Amino acid sequence: MKKWMFLLVSLFTMQVAMADNDKPITFEQLPASAQTFIKQNFPDAKVAFVKMEKEFLDASYDVVFINGDKVEFDKKGNWKDINCRRMTVPQAVVPAKIQEFVKSNYPEAKVIKIEKDRYEYEVKLTNFWELTFDTSFNLIDMDNDND
């Protein structure tokens, strides 16, 4: 029993120690694909800082621009989350089928946030609608966050 308790306490301590492993890095220390993505899609944006977040078995990178916009990348340099406060998400990043859906259903709205994972895309629009698409770009959920 004491061994199990010791093991649990050790694991908990290790998780707490690893939880806050954010480390500032230079732009050049980003994976090459992330650097290329930023240069192509945010050519005029000035980078405020870049940080690497180390987790137990994974890592991610955050690039924050001076205007407050932010892009998060996985350990390979693939974008996971783009959050724009001052501009809109570059059209080249938004999948064509999502662009078509937004244009035909919300012609005045622009994409200000897009997040993807293995199962879905979440898109936030300037008109406060939040849309969720599966990986085949079928709309699976929508919510208006204008409370």
The CA distance from 50 to 57, in Å, is 20
Ordered domains of the chain (ranges, CATH): 22-85 (3.40.1420.30), 88-146 (3.40.1420.30)
pLDDT, tens digit only, all 147 positions of the chain: 655 555 445 555 555 554 558 899 999 999 999 999 999 999 999 999 999 999 878 899 999 999 999 999 999 999 999 999 989 999 999 999 999 999 999 999 999 999 999 999 999 999 999 999 999 999 999 999 876
pTM passes above 0.85: no
* C-alpha pair distances (Å), 137 with each of 54, 72, 92: 31, 21, 16
